[in-house]
Structure 1
Amino acid sequence: MPLRAGEVNGEGKNEETLPDHDDEKQAKTALIELKRRIEDAIQGNCFLGKPDGSNVCQDETSKAIGKPKEIKLWGVPLMPNEPHAGTDTVLLKFLKSKNYNVHDAFENLKKTLIWRKEFKADEILEERLDPEFEKESYFNTIDKEGRPLFANVYGDLKSEQNKRLNPEEHYEKFLRWRVQYMEKCIKELNFELGGADSMTQVIDWEDFHGLHTREFRSVYRKWWTLLEEHYPEIIRRTIILNIPLWYHVSLSFSSRLITHKMNANTIFARPGKVTETLLKFVSPENLPVEYGGLKRVDDDEFSPEDKATEVNLKAHATEEIKIPAPKAGVKIAWDVTVVGWEVRYKEEFVPDDEGSYRVSLQEKEKKGEDKRSVRNVYYINEAGKIVISVHNYTNKCRKVFYRYKTKPTAPVYRSMSQK
């Protein structure tokens, strides 16, 4: 069965299950100690503190009646004496980020709760932020392990960066938008056993020159710091697309944008390797067509459950994909994508009756810059087959992914091609 957001592959374990073998005992001991410290702090109504490190009681009324105020993080209660299926998962994230040092994890958790209160992170989903940012992000798919995948496309900031990013007051708007989007994505996570409790982040730098400015680097560093400190282990992997070669080299020798720890789970893809890189982590059915996949917005023909078939296309070779059409009165829809493209592409209907004519559906040369898949629909009025020919005229091997679907329908007397 296909995976959905909130489900994972394997043995039904979260990313933050306890380590195996020698580390398991240490991790269990650390988790028990952290829960004890949290319970003591909550019972004393002094879990939340000020940024200077001093503790303040949350609620004198609740202290007087002996009932501490409930504290939640990402919707998960942190009260150890009122077990919740996701509590251990959340606490293990803080422990893991601090190498299971209980004191450091406890202090980080407190600082996170203080920051959320001051930043009003729990109310940020209700805020109406700059609508221009909405077109630079989308979240509608999952990776191969069933983790939610969200993407930020910064190219549109190029023309408006002077208006929206250069003034200092707009930096805060940018940070609040990033936090708001992070909170939206966390709503899609499942911290219970067997759930997808982390996500994949995609950042697209195509046509974005604001990255080169000192001002944007400063605000972006601040965002990465917030991410590491207050969302530990929430981002499982970051994939940065369309990174310039010179910047890739510079990042190899410095950490101006991301910390060493974030670097460990960061993948860079230069412009010519975008689709190839993404397909290592996202299935073609869940990869948007803008990046060479098969997923379209509001698709009424296919869904992610309609799996694609993979074909290896050798250099300077032609591969034929044959879609059977054994009877008339049906509609056949198909999707085809080639990783990297740079091929000659041809579609035709070949009837079984040798006395009938072949029907040419489309023929084109697809360049690498045109990443979108080919979608076509054809009404079958006699038995035959759809033959798709893909000729690779380059020295590189290619991968082809295709899928098709047949269903009864009223006749359509022309093919409908969606480039």
Structure 2
Amino acid sequence: MADVAATPPPQATEEFPLAEPPREHAPAEQGELPPPPSAVVTTTTAVESEPLEKSPPTHEEVVVSVDATQKLEAPAEPQKLPPQSFASFKEESNKVADLSDSERKALEELKQLVQEALNTNTFFSKQTPEQEPETGETSVSAGEVSIWGIPLLMDERTDVVLLKFLRARDFKVKDAFVMLRNTVHWRKQFSIDALVDEDLGDDLDKVVFMHGHDREGHAVCYNVYGEFQNKELYQKTFGDDEKRAKFLRWRVQFLERSIRKLDFNPGGICTIFQVSDLKNSPGPGKRELRIATKQALQMLQDNYPEFVAKQVFINVPWWYLAFYAMMSPFLTQRTKSKFVFASPARTAEMLFKYISPEQVPVQYGGLSVDYCDCNPEFTVSDPATEMTIKPGTKQIVEIIIYEKCVIVWELRVVGWEVSYGAEFVPNSGGYTVNIQKPKKMSPADEPVVHGTFKVLELGKVLLTVDNPTSKKKKLLYRFKIDLLGDEGLPNQS
């Protein structure tokens, strides 16, 4: 996690590209929202709406029916930026039984070196295990030396810790031991355990923050470099040596607090999914930033190996692509396999590939809002349905209601520039209830729209999105139903 950096990427390394890159994972299936027991969803795509832009080619009419047990899968779009034809890495297992014979042997040898260092009390010195301890030194018991909150050699979590150092050094045991010993020594000098509880203020809470989980359960860390466009914040953070030193302490504190929430048991999730937002990011020409970045890179790559599951760069500007093209020949294939890049136009689409929309913050195209009571019916645990609306088509989501109820929904189209409307059509026919008259939604409108309707007779709610543009659009929606009791009041759930 030499990889939860809060500084722009002037250079990239295996352990900390700007936040360490991750191994490539196949995106999880995108599941349809299971409708409540009293409703069934059908989606109808009608074509040839009046285009506001250049009319796209004629499309065939497509009708898709979805019930509560089916999944609707959209084909993944090929990644275009930049070309990534190299093989991708799969995150390795931390279970001893899954290791190869050579890896298992290396782990046992490293554990033996750690035990010898504890016996000779050389963990906190620059001695090698073969050197005699200084006069008066006594051995240190197993568990008295800890790293990331894990006491060494006390239980099987030690295997997970040691495997990080072994993988960082290609399973070269002596090199991994030197790295581990230096890290333990650095942690003592830096007073890490005391630092975790220090109050360093909240000035940088919007620069680096944790929010939700990816589709595989990794906690997601967002690094928002554009916040440093604020000159006051920039000077307060990087203005002189003392401020940069405080920033480094804050950065390490954030990292330590995040790591201690991970599961170091074999089979647990002990890596983090990194998202680096480069929108309005200061370029590599900022001297103070270069100094702080270099210091952070060195410290984090030396002491926090193998902590990132994937590194996704979003809102990538042209200058970073030019920089990456220059640096690419000097990066290992392992490092490059962990990188994913997305231009501003593809940011939401790329995030949804790895993170479900209900887990993605609203500012990045998702449905998740922190500290907001705007629609408390929904949380990150409520799954959303996502689908692609083709250019020049109208998408109709039919929610068929079988019992009297109150239905609540929320919906967004990433980037909007479409018309949205909602209505209720009773089975008895003869009339239609206009819940929301069709309205042209612009990018300046609220990103997520919310609706509610009390259904007193059976029928269907129609959510209509008309895409007159020449661009495909990503539609997200989810809903809940609260059945009405005998007195016509919602049941308390």
**Superposition map of 1:312-391 within 5 A:** 312-328=388-404, 330-367=405-442, 372-391=447-466
CA RMSD in angstroms, aligned pairs only: 3.4
Alpha-carbon offset, residue 289 of structure 1: 1.8
Q: Does 1:16 align with 2:91?
A: no
The answer to whether 1:221 aligns with 2:294 is: yes
Retained in 2: the 8 A contact 1:14–1:89?
Answer: no
Give the direction of change, closer, same or farther, for the CA distance of 1:57–1:153 in structure 2 (3 Å limit). Answer: farther
Distance 1:139 1:258 in 2: 28
Q: Deviations over 1:228-249 (max 9, x none)?
A: 2211111121222222112222
How far 1:367 moved relative to its partner?
A: 4.3
**1:144 pairs with 2:215:** yes
Letter of the aligned partner of 1:385 in structure 2?
K
* CA 1:345–1:69: 2 relative to 1, 3 Å: closer
- For 1:89-104, list aligned pairs within 5 A: 89-104=160-175
Shift in alpha-carbon separation, 1:116–1:300, aligned structure 2, 3 A: same
8 A contact 2:435–2:453 mirrored in 1: no
Letter of the 1:306 counterpart:
D
1:75 maps onto 2:146 in alignment:
no
Map 1:76-225 onto structure 2 (within 5 A). 76-79=150-153, 82=154, 84-159=155-230, 160=232, 161-209=234-282, 212-225=285-298
Does the aligned pair in 1 maintain the 2:426–2:460 contact within 8 Å? yes
Q: Which residue of 1 aligns with 2:472?
A: 397
1:38 CA drift (Å): 0.7
Change (3 A) 1:306 1:377: same
SS, match of residue 209 in structure 1: coil
Q: Which segments of 5 or more consecutive residues in structure 2 lack a partner in the other structure?
A: 1-27, 29-90, 489-493
Matches within 5 A, 1:12-51: 15-17=93-95, 24-50=100-126
Counterpart contact for 1:153–1:205, Cα < 8 Å: yes
Is the contact made by 2:118 and 2:141 (CA closer than 8 Å) also made in structure 1?
no
SS of the equivalent of 1:126 reads coil
Shift of 1:127: 1.1
Displacement of 1:254 in angstroms is 2.4
Q: Which runs of 5 or more structure 1 residues have no equivalent in the other structure?
A: 1-8, 413-419
What is the one-letter code of the residue matched to 1:295?
Answer: S
3-state secondary structure, aligned to 1:90 = helix
C-alpha contact 2:226 2:280 (8 A) present in aligned 1: yes
Distance, in Å, in 1 between the alignment partners of 2:468 and 2:135 is 72
Distance 1:51 1:162, change over 3 A: farther
> Which of the pair has the greater relative contact order for Cα pairs under 8 Å at 6+ separation?
2
SS of structure 2 residue aligned to 1:333: strand
Q: Judging changes above 3 Å, is the alpha-carbon distance between structure 1 residues 272 and 57 closer, same or farther for their aligned structure 2 residues?
A: farther
Q: Does the 8 Å CA contact 2:274/2:311 hold for their aligned counterparts?
A: yes
Partner of 1:294: 367
Q: Does 394-403 or 32-41 show the bigger shift?
A: 394-403
TM-score by length of 2: 0.71
* One-letter amino acid of the structure 2 residue matched with residue 166 of structure 1: G
| Residue 32 of structure 2: aligned partner | none
Q: Report the Cα distance in structure 2 between the residues aligned to 1:232 and 1:360, rounded to whole angstroms.
A: 54
Q: Is the 8 A contact 1:338 1:400 kept in 2?
A: yes
1:253 deviates by: 0.8
What's the TM-score once normalised by structure 1's chain length?
A: 0.83
User: Do the aligned residues in 2 keep the contact of 1:239 with 1:267 (CA within 8 Å)?
Assistant: yes
TM-aligned CA deviation for residue 402 of structure 1? 1.9
How far apart are 1:33 and its partner, in Å?
Answer: 0.8
In 2, Cα distance between the equivalents of 1:217 and 1:96? 28
Secondary structure of the structure 2 residue equivalent to 1:273:
helix
Match of 2:62 in 1: none
Q: Is the 8 A contact 1:34 1:106 kept in 2?
A: yes
Contact 1:47 1:55 survives alignment (8 Å): no
The 1:164/1:76 distance shift into structure 2, 3 A limit, reads closer
Matched, 1:246 2:319: yes
Once residues 265 and 228 of structure 2 are traced to their aligned partners in structure 1, the CA distance between those partners, rounded to angstroms, is 37
Partner residue in 2 for 1:416: none
Q: CA separation in 1, counterparts of 2:440 and 2:128? A: 64
- How far 1:16 moved relative to its partner? 3.3
**Which residue in 2 is equivalent to 1:270?**
343
> Matched residue of 1:87: which SS?
helix
Per-residue deviation, 1:44: 1.0
Superposition deviation, residue 98 in structure 1: 0.5
Q: Structure 1 stretch 349-358 or stretch 217-226: which is displaced more?
A: 349-358
1:165 and 1:365, CA in 2 relative to 1: closer, same or farther beyond 3 A?
Answer: farther
